[in-house]
Amino acid sequence: MTRTTPEAERIVVVGAALLDGGRLLAARRTAPEDLAGRWELPGGKVEPDERPEDALVRELREELGVDAEPVARVPGEWPLRPPYVLQVWTARLRPGSPEPRPLQDHDELRWLAPGRVWDVPWLDQDVPAVRRLENLPPLSS
């Protein structure tokens, strides 16, 4: 029997589809061990009483040292291990923001040009979101 998670028990994890000139930023995980070496959309958990957009800005500042702004939510929501669900937002660097650099949880960043999005081994849970991103105008070839 499948157990559904009530809305109150769901914990949203935001992922950032950080875009620059049609390129998508991918971040290589360093931990936990079972995820290390795989690539993801950077982001993290939404804290209680925090809007997902605000969590995205905070997480990108903490993980990459950038000042970014959310643009739009990518349609869809993807299950992670219960009670977590992934929501993805497109985002862009604000004018004057430094270039992204791996500060927490990552050891390498890569800007992926349109048509090169699958050059890295994405985490399984990020694959459906990346597929959805491919169909959005900024990533289309």
What CATH number has the domain bearing residue 68? 3.90.79.10
Q: Is residue 25, in this structure, part of any structural domain at all?
A: yes
Mean pLDDT, range 97-114, rounded to an integer: 95
Q: What is the pLDDT of residue 8?
A: 57
> Does residue 141 lie in a domain region?
no
Q: Which domain holds residue 45?
A: 17-136
Assign 134 a pLDDT band (cuts: 50, 70, 90): confident
Q: Is the pLDDT of residue 6 over 60?
A: no
Backbone angles phi, psi at 15, to 5 degrees: -115, 140
Q: What is residue 135's predicted lDDT score, i.e. its pLDDT?
A: 77
Residue 8 falls inside a structural domain? no
4, pLDDT greater than 70: no
Could you read off the pLDDT of 68-95 as tens digits, one per residue? 999 999 999 999 989 999 999 999 999 9
In a domain, 28, yes or no: yes
Query: Is 4 inside a domain boundary?
Result: no
Mean pLDDT of the chain: 91
Residues 6 or more apart whose Cβ sits within 8 Å of residue 67: 57, 61, 93, 94, 96, 97, 98
The total domain count for the chain is 1
Nearest to 128 by CA among 98, 95, 87: 87
